[in-house]
């Protein structure tokens, strides 16, 4: 049996997950943002002749989709792969990045899946959200190294405390947003407000001031003066991977 450890949340550290998976002779995969994507790993494993595959989702990084999304994506793959292996789903998400817990989950196995799980499309997901603000939390390499991993869940907690839902503020995790010297970076749109060196301790102020009272937090606000000539000259040196 081939085990695949699936990062469910964009907040999962891809290197940490890959190290944990490979130490248990499992394959790392990701449901969103990071590579390799789950469907690509499933195809590679199936092409390699594995007859039995176990999917174990991660539950320690927030915000993350529910386990049902792992079933949806896996079933979508099953419907499109001719001669697919038996696909099993662990009954619970792995609660911590712990080698002993992962080994126990692999030993316990899971329940076989059918291809008739709920589809990826639904009428409920047709309309573009009408949120008042979108909060873009950078999870590029520098922002992640400087503490951005805790920001999405902190925003979620503060938004709930303030009684705000997705129609008020939609929190989205992104890749590198480029002003890396100011990491961690958070952008609030459509206000074009860029905040730098944001910590979890700053999140209550950002929610209360900007998202509730429409007042920018000056101490964190980054200047937006730009030089087009300089941007073009430096663009090739500003790869997210550098």
Confidence at residue 242, expressed as pLDDT on a 0 to 100 scale: 45
- Rounded CA-CA distance 215/220 in Å is 12
Residue 164 has pLDDT above 70, yes or no: yes
Q: Are 64 and 8 in contact (CB under 8 A)?
A: yes
Q: Which CATH number fits domain 133-237: 3.40.30.10, 3.30.43.10, 3.90.1150.10, 1.40.20.10?
A: 3.40.30.10
Residue 3 has pLDDT above 80, yes or no: yes
What is the CATH number assigned to the segment(s) 2-112? 3.40.50.1400
Q: Is the whole model's pTM more than 0.75, yes or no?
A: yes
Closest CA to 148 of 104, 80, 195, 100: 195
Domain ranges across the chain: 2-112, 133-237
Reported as a single tens digit per residue, the pLDDT across 52-72 is: 999 999 998 876 788 999 999
Q: Are 54 and 1 in contact (CB under 8 A)?
A: yes
Reported as a single tens digit per residue, the pLDDT across 8-43 is: 988 788 899 999 999 999 999 999 988 999 999 999
């Amino acid at each position: 049996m081939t085990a695949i450890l699936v990062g469910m949340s964009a907040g999962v550290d891809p290197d940490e997950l890959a190290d944990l998976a490979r130490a248990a002779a499992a394959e790392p995969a990701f449901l969103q943002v990071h590579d390799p994507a789950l469907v690509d790993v499933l195809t590679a494993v199936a092409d390699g002749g594995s007859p039995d595959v176990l999917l174990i989702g991660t539950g320690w990084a927030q915000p993350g989709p529910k386990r049902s999304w792992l079933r949806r994506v896996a079933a979508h793959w099953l419907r499109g792969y001719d001669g697919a292996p038996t696909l099993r789903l662990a009954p619970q998400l792995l609660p911590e990045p712990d080698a002993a817990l992962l080994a126990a989950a692999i030993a316990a196995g899971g329940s076989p899946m059918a291809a008739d799980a709920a589809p990826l499309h639904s009428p409920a997901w047709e309309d573009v959200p009408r949120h008042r603000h979108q909060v873009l939390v950078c999870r590029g390499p520098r922002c992640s190294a400087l503490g951005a991993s805790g920001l999405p869940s902190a925003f979620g907690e503060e938004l709930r405390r303030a009684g705000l839902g997705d129609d008020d503020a939609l929190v989205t995790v992104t890749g590198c947003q480029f002003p890396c010297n100011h990491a961690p970076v958070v952008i609030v749109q459509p206000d074009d407000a860029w905040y730098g060196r944001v910590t979890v301790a700053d999140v209550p102020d950002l929610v209360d001031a900007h998202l509730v009272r429409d007042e920018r937090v000056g101490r964190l606000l980054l200047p937006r003066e730009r030089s087009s000539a300089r941007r073009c000259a430096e663009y090739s040196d500003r790869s997210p991977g550098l």
